[in-house]
Amino acid sequence: MSFKEKVIYQIYPKSFLDTNQDGVGDLPGIEQKLPYLKRLGVDMVWLSPIYPSPQKDNGYDVADYTSINPMFGTMNDFDSLMATAKKYGIEIMLDMVFNHVSTEHEWFQKALAGDKKYQDYFILREEPTDWVSKFGGNAWASFGDTGKYYLHLYDITQADLNWRNPEVREELFNVLRFWMDKGIKGFRFDVINVIGKDEVLKNCPENDGKPAYTDKPIAHEFIRMMNQATYGKDAEIVTVGEMSFTTIEDCILYTNPKREELNMTFNFHHLKVDYKDGKKWTLMPFDFEKLKELFHTWGTQMSEGSGWNALFWNNHDQPRALNRFIDVDNYRVVGSKMLASSIHLNRGTPYIYMGEEIGMLDPDFDKMEDYVDVESLNAYQELLDAGKSEQEAFKVVKAKSRDNSRTPMQWDSGEYSGFSQSAPWLGLGKSADEINVAKELQEGSIFTYYQQLIKLRKEYPVIAEGSYEAFLPEHPQIYGFVRRLEGHSLLVLNNFFSQETTIKLPKECLSGEVLIDNYETKSFEQELRLKPYQTIAIYY
């Protein structure tokens, strides 16, 4: 099966299912729920990092790339998970955090101890630049008592690796080979487009320094080397790169098959349309015109350039999309389905983030003490320092925190929602008694709708392979697009608002059939009235 036909499900292991009752999810918990994922119909499961880590950034600060963090289990547990997944026809994708390592990693500790070989594994300078860390503050920290500084584009405990050093590259390629030997068929590369730093680093006040290290030509060279040395030798392996502050032009280069880099890329531009003045820690309603323009531009140009998008609304770094784009008090169910259709019928490979298939919401925490995410804690302090009151700062964090998506999976309405018998590492959402898997499977319709979408991708080649064209790009409420392949077309219409609206369908649609619709439309005429948050797909 081509990566274009697959549907991938992301699990945040800490929050999926706890089987040893320590309040933290584990690998046996994931294995236990494979029948549920098989029932949903997904082809591959992406696991956020499961490696040893001090957890300063919830596992994205890796201390050992080829071992299992004891909090998640053992390597035997991992092997068992792999074997059971194979029985269910589900492949596993691992998260590769190759831009940086934890400062507790053996390499960094040896460098600190004075080993010249390992000092060249990192980016050390006597004169730091003006770059700003993605988590706030300076991107440089003192390297012991050497008088030098090490680069950390993220948390101070995450030291950037020097990809210009061939020994570093070979170390990382060996990590991939290790997991390929274990049977892994997917790799998600964390912020992979920032690995290509220049030899001479320069100040860059624009955008906190991002243009100085993002999407550099040498990053493409490094990724191509990695492809040719490792996963490119196995045509079944699926690769996706997380791209920070990226461009369409670069994502076409990363994913055009002729270039032998990656299968697909994540970009986050569509999830910044509620950033006031481009800044995350602000509040504003989402900008639909901007959202629509981004979807159309990326869809059209990636199609024309033979690039490939990884499509998603939710992941471990984002608040729940329902809270951002839908009136959840009145339209949570139909809104869930509309958002699902808008990506699952689109051109690209769709990703489902755990809980999305049952319409999970942000947790609605009451106080700052409920949050544990380092980025959120830093942002709260920065908001206070900027003059916001505690109430104002908390309101922003409550809307934008990464912890909103990291709360435990809501399996049932028990004390800890079936996630654990002990207090979980992060609090549960307030909606757990009303929104959980047990209740959804018994009386809900969102899960079933996702099953239908996944099935359609397998049955209709136009969904997996078709081109992309914008439809009614000027409409103030509708995000619409047309997919075409070998004489077949699919028109997809998504009303992003709680108000009804009317559109005129192309005549060629009138003899078509409704493939899927969240209001169960039986028939239609050229004048089509779309209900609040309605989505409809017409095949002709």
Q: Kindly list the catalytic residues.
A: 190, 242
User: Count of CB atoms within 10 A of residue 220's CB?
Assistant: 18
Cα(128)–Cα(85) distance, rounded to whole angstroms? 47
Of the candidates 510, 503, 509, the one whose C-alpha atom is nearest the C-alpha of residue 530 is: 503
DSSP 531: P
Cα(54)–Cα(428) distance, rounded to whole angstroms? 23
Q: Which residues, listed in sequence order, are joined to residue 504 by a DSSP beta bridge?
A: 527
- What residues contact 322, with CB distance under 8 A and at least 6 apart? 328, 332, 335, 336, 339, 359, 360, 361
Q: Are 355 and 409 in contact (CB under 8 A)?
A: yes
Cα(497)–Cα(476) distance, rounded to whole angstroms? 10
Tokens standing for residue 426: 């992060």
Distance of CA 301 to the CA centre of its chain: 21
The total number of residues written for the chain in this structure: 540
Q: Are 25 and 15 in contact (CB under 8 A)?
A: yes
Cα(515)–Cα(456) distance, rounded to whole angstroms? 8
- Give me the DSSP letters along 25-79: --HHHHHHTHHHHHHHT-SEEEEPP-S----TTTTSS-S-TTS--TTT--HHHHH
- Give me the DSSP letters along 183-214: T--EEEETTGGG----SS-----GGGGGGGTS
Cα(447)–Cα(455) distance, rounded to whole angstroms? 13
Cα(528)–Cα(521) distance, rounded to whole angstroms? 10
DSSP 370: G
Q: Are 314 and 323 in contact (CB under 8 A)?
A: no
Q: Which residues, listed in sequence order, are joined to residue 480 by a DSSP beta bridge?
A: 471, 493
Tokens standing for residue 40: 């949903």
Tokens standing for residue 344: 């699952």
Q: Are 155 and 58 in contact (CB under 8 A)?
A: no
DSSP 458: H
